[in-house]
Amino acid sequence: MTLLYEEFRPHAEHFAEVLGGDVRIVGSLAELSEKLAGDKDELLVVFGPGTALAEATSFASDVRLARPHIGVVLLRPHVDISVMTEALRAGVREVVDANDPGNVRVACARSMDLSRQLRGPSGVTLADLDDDEIDAAGRVITVFAAKGGCGKTTMATNLAVALAETGRRVCIIDLDLAFGDVAIMLQLTPERTIADAIPVADRIDRTGLRLMLTHFREGVDALLAPVQPAVAEEIDRSLIAEVIRLARSIFDDVIVDTPPQFNDGVLTALDASHRYVLVTTPELPALKSLRVTLDMFDVLDYRRENRIVVLNRADSKVGLSSADLDRVIRAPIAAFVPSSRDVPLSINRGAPLMVDNPSHPVSVAIRDLVKSRLAAAEASAPAKGLRGMMTRRSKR
C-alpha cells in the first residue's frame, strides 16, 4: 500500500491513477502521521509536487530514524541539482519529475522493492543491526595490480560472477574512480555511481548505498565509478571506508576493483580486506611490479596467507620459465589463467566469460580459484595495514 500526500485534491487523484494499485490519499502531515501510526507495514510515502520541500525533507529525516524501511519519493514540477541534493541528504530515496508518469512508477516500484529487502521476511530491518554485527558480516576481496593491462578488471568481474554461482550475494565496487571500466565490462548504464554518495557523505546509510547500486545479474550488483573523472578528487578515504563497511552489511562478498597505484582509496580498501587478489602477467615489468607490491604488503603488514597471486595469460610464449617466475616473484602462484582471444571478445560483448562461456578454460581456472582459495568466509577483517601501523606508532 502507498500513502500519497498532496493537498491539492485534483493533483492527488491524478497521481493516484498514475501510481495505480492501493493508494491512500492524505491532505495534511497530521493525517499522514496518523495513517502511518495505524499501519506498521507501510513501505512507501509519495509527496506530490505541491508539497513544500521543507515538509518533505523534515518528514524524510524523521522517518529514516524511526522507521528506516519506509521509502520516501518526492515529485517535483521540475528537478534541479540543488533540490535533489537537499532531498537526498535528508533521506528522500527518489526525486522524480512529476511530468514523467513512467519514471514516477519506476521510482516508486524501485523504492518498494528496496523496502521489502530492508524489512526482510521476518520484519527485521538492516537498520536493526549494530556496528558489531555489520563488521562481522560480509567479506572484502580487493583485486590489485600495480601495472596496468594485467587483466585486473576482467579478473574482478569474473570473480564476482563465480562467487555468485556458489549462492553468495556479491557487490563489485569500481574504485578506479577516474578511469573505471566495470560499467563497460558489464555493459551497465551508470545512472547512479559512487559520486552520488558525495552530497550525503556525512550521513550515508545502507538504504542510501542500495540506491546507488546497479544490478547486473542474479547475485551480483555493482557500485560504479563516477562518469566524470574530475569527481574522483571529491571522494576521500573516509567515504570509501564507510561505503565498504556498509556494503559488508548487505552482501556476502564485496569485490573491490582498483586502479594500478597505491593511492588513499586503494590503501583504504586493502586495510579492510580479507583477501588480496594480486594479478600479474608473464612479462618482466609486470612481474617486477608484483614483487614491489609484495614488498609493500610486507611493510604494511598485510598477512601473507591472505595474498592470492594470479598469473594471467599464463601460457603465453614469452621466453620465461617457471624458474624465472619463481626467481622474480619469490611467492607461490595460486592460479594460472590461460591466454585466450575469447577474453577480449567477451569484454567487447559486455559479458564476462564466466557468463558467456562457463566451460571455457579461463572460466574453469577462475572457478577453481574460487573453490580453492575463496570458498570460506572469514569473520572479520585483519586489523593491520595503515591503521595497524598508525596504532603501533601511537603506542611508541
pLDDT tens per residue, range 53-73? 999 988 988 887 677 778 899
Provide the pLDDT confidence category of residue 386 given band limits of 50, 70 and 90. Answer: low
What pLDDT, in 10s, does the model give residues 291-311? 889 988 988 888 999 999 999
What pLDDT, in 10s, does the model give residues 337-380? 998 889 888 888 888 999 989 999 999 999 999 999 997 655 44
Provide the pLDDT confidence category of residue 202 given band limits of 50, 70 and 90. Answer: confident
Distance, first Cα to last Cα, the chain: 60
One-letter amino acid of 72: V
275 forms beta bridges with 141
What pLDDT, in 10s, does the model give residues 99-137? 999 999 988 888 887 777 666 544 444 444 444 444 547
Question: Across the chain, what does the average pLDDT equal?
Answer: 85
Closest CA to 211 of 326, 117, 333: 117
Provide the pLDDT confidence category of residue 384 given band limits of 50, 70 and 90. Answer: low
Cell of 368: 577453481
What pLDDT, in 10s, does the model give residues 220-264? 999 999 988 888 889 998 999 999 999 998 999 999 999 998 888
- In the predicted structure, residue 218 carries a pLDDT above the cut 70: yes
Report helix, strand or coil for 179: coil
**pLDDT given for residue 37 in this prediction:** 83
**pLDDT given for residue 318 in this prediction:** 65
- In the predicted structure, residue 313 carries a pLDDT above the cut 80: yes
**pLDDT given for residue 120 in this prediction:** 53
Domains annotated on the chain, with CATH: 2-127 (3.40.50.2300), 133-394 (3.40.50.300)
What pLDDT, in 10s, does the model give residues 258-283? 999 888 899 999 999 999 999 999 88
Rounded-to-integer distance, Cα 115 and Cα 96, Å: 18
pTM of the model as a whole: 0.67
> Comparing 137 with 214, which gets the higher pLDDT?
214
Phi, psi of 73 (to 5 degrees): -115, 130
Integer angstrom CA distances of residue 171 from 92, 161, 249, 357: 23, 10, 11, 21
**pLDDT given for residue 128 in this prediction:** 47
